[in-house]
Structure 1
Amino acid sequence: MRFTPRRRSPSSDEAAQSDIVIEFREVGLTYPGPPPVAALHPCDLVVRRGEYITVVGPSGSGKSTFLNIAGLLDNPTTGTYRMDGIDTASLSDAGRTALRGQRIGFVFQAFHLLPHRSALENVLLATLYRKDLPRHERRVRAENALRTVGLGHRLHAVPTRLSGGERQRVAIARALVARPSLLLCDEPTGNLDSATADTVLALLDTLHSQGMTILLITHDPAVSARGRRTVVIRDGMLEDPSHEVITA
């Protein structure tokens, strides 16, 4: 089954920038002290629809902070972050949660699956914010997402009966089921052997070829090379060799 990312219909004032998924303008995050700690220095970044970007940097460099801001898990203390043209600072906590649930899919190193729920039930949990979908449609989408990642025959298996690669594919299916604008991956192959990691990375390649926008954090140069563009974070400073300025 082919995966098709959900498209939003831009309003007239967003039409010119409708292909931009992420826009950071001087976005940074400083934790209060004493002394204050700049986890991410103010930076600019533009991610266009359909890009596959890898984010690299040493441990403690600010990669997780960057991902948490992009995923609407943390609020920046400076700058403006627009997601699909929406100024995220204008949203309430409930609005941020809804936007995250509807338009961002997460894939983590540790899978984060509920151990006593089936693969299908784990994927269905990600449809909770799709109140517009009937229960039957949610189930159909969850089953189709699992078939997309090659697990149509494992719908009712619990995570403890799945291999590491299968668990990560369930996690990817969970991230895809809401048809998000953006897939955020945090070291998605960190807990996998090389052969299984290649299978997962090949799946991400396929999703990208079908139009999915992917932002992947890794410390592995071989994984980083799978992306079409690489962003480096060192000491809380983002370095984007293809820096693009968006005019108002």
Structure 2
Amino acid sequence: MELFIKVEASASHLMALSKLPIRFVEVNNGRVCPFYLFYLCFICGGDLTIGKELRVNEEITAKELRLIGVDGEQIGIVSPREALAIAREAGLDLVEVAPHAKPPVCRIMDYGKYKFQQSKREKEARKKQKVVNVKEVKFRLGIEDHDFEVKARNIERFLKKGDKVKVTVMFRGREISHSDMGLALCNRIIERVGDVGSVEKPPKLEGKNMIMVLSPKQEKKQ
């Protein structure tokens, strides 16, 4: 079973670990032997992010393990039975946080609470993620003023909602030879919706269409 562990630690904490042997995990985008994870995470105050696949309680099969207490104190090398008894007495779980260390490192913690808090943080992060949609509005050369205004209002509505807008000017037949008219139409659109949108991708011929992308105008910070 593989375990991903990421540790944030200061440079001074890493100095003593730079000459360690194989079996490394990521630490500050570098590498550190998991044998010393307990030192970084629970004595030096490193920030431990635990992956999803962990052995917990009776799932731990090592003959002996290095045990870290609930407050980060080093209890020492004990058998899984002893460690589990200590965890049970505290009403907590025994979690194997560094299975490849010799011996494996385990910590006493409320694993259910940890998983709940982790899930809650992930949900909050997803809520803060803003989904940006791209809407498309199509125009033709020689469009009537009324139709132009209807489409321009649609573009404004999309931009105000935070969506991007792909504007497509379609050419028919020999109209493609009048790309300057397509560019003039694009500039007219830009001027019309300029209060709420700005050009992200300038007008460009792509096949028989001229395409540009507008994005919501960013509010200026005071």
Considering the TM-score relative to the shorter chain, is it more than 0.5?
no
TM-score normalised by structure 1 residue count: 0.23
Q: Which has the higher contact order (CA 8 A, sep 6+)?
A: 1
